Amino acid sequence: MKTSEEPTSRGLSAIQEGRKRRAEFPRIPPRFFLWMFVILAGWAIIYWKIDQNELESWRNRLLSRQRAVDAELGPRYNPVRDQLEVWIMEAAGPYAGDSISAEAKSSPFRSKPGTYLRLYIDDAKQQESLRRAALESLRDGFTSCFTTFPNPDPFKGPACKKNQECPPGQHCNEVFHCSEPAQPYNLRVAYRAARVLSDSWVNDVREASNDMRLRLLERDFDSAVQEDIPLAIDLLVRAQYFLLVLDENTDLAATEVPDAGTYSESLQAVPHPVRVFAWDLVSKKLLFRVRTEIVSKVGITTDSATTRIAVQRQSNNCAIAVEVRRLLGDESAGAPSP
């Protein structure tokens, strides 16, 4: 029989032994965790510094390449762009009345290579809005009915997504097929090609905060330099005239103007005044300046609102082109529109 002096233990012996073993291990002092935090934070800062240095070196290399391209191609592109923009902004000012030169009536410029741009008149009044709108400008039925250059079928070539997928001398056109650039080519091609020469693109590079963003900008730069800029400069050099169409506002209420994408395209589906200009790029003289308002009457049976708007828009554009041809003395344009 156990005496009262013998020690007693509570619970299972295994639990007691576990408690005893844990008590024998030394406790980790709080300063250990503090030092671990300091070491890990130090490594994180060092890694961030290395990453930022590599990112900055990458950024500087890309900007250096951009400056080299700008120094080489800028003198060839910028003077042409600046001259065209002066003409465009002047054309968007107070209208000076119709003017048709003798050269416009006698010269076969409509059968030669040229460049074309169509804008909403308010977008053409300032350089910043002009350049922004030019990036979205599309070819329309006006050029198809005005010029006589033998353009290729835009759907004939193989399907594509980028210019690099097309043979030399061709590009991925607006319907995503490889073809030779249609004439007159849309000035949007030049503005998009020269995007990497702009201050806004340089600012994007300077503000890129990670390697993924910088990698995308570098790919954009390589694509522009290897594909877009050479094509755009070749087209600018070959162009012999500049054709400009400015859409003025309509008297219709906003609710009567259908939504066709951009405001300029929406205006093209309803009656509104249009200014049409052409300049000789060699002599830098105005060939003609006319203002007209022509609406085509088209019987459209489709139930698709999108199709009706597109057909009416292109029909109106073609009617305007025919009217301008008539004013230039083109006998094939027929009698004046009623």
**Whether pLDDT at 8 is above 60:** no
pTM: 0.77
Exposure of 199 by Cβ count < 10 A (0-12 exposed, 13-18 middle, 19+ buried)? exposed
Model confidence band, residue 158 (pLDDT cutoffs 50, 70, 90): very high
Give pLDDT, residue 136. 85
Between 185-189, 239-243, 273-277, 294-298, the lowest mean confidence (pLDDT) is in 294-298
How far is it, in rounded angstroms, from Cα 288 to Cα 330? 14
Contact at 8 Å (CB) between 285 and 241? no
How far is it, in rounded angstroms, from Cα 217 to Cα 230? 19
**226 against 292, higher pLDDT:** 292
**232 against 123, higher pLDDT:** 123
Give pLDDT, residue 284. 94
Q: Name the residue among 289, 272, 245 with its Cα closest to residue 118.
A: 245
For the chain, what is the mean pLDDT?
Answer: 83
Give pLDDT, residue 242. 97
Q: Can you tell me the mean pLDDT for 157-185?
A: 86
**Whether pLDDT at 329 is above 70:** yes
Task: Copy the structure tokens of residue 136.
Answer: 């979205």
**56 against 169, higher pLDDT:** 56
Tracing tokens 């809005």 back to the chain, one arrives at 129
Q: Name the residue among 82, 94, 97, 98 with its Cα closest to residue 130.
A: 82
Model confidence band, residue 299 (pLDDT cutoffs 50, 70, 90): low
pLDDT in tens, 58-97: 888 999 999 998 898 888 888 999 999 999 999 999 999 9
Give pLDDT, residue 170. 83
Task: Copy the structure tokens of residue 291.
Answer: 């203002």
Q: What angle do CA 140, 146, 147 make, to 5 degrees?
A: 100
Model confidence band, residue 335 (pLDDT cutoffs 50, 70, 90): low
pLDDT in tens, 252-261: 766 667 776 7
**193 against 264, higher pLDDT:** 193
State the distance between the two ends of the chain, measured CA to CA, in whole angstroms. 131
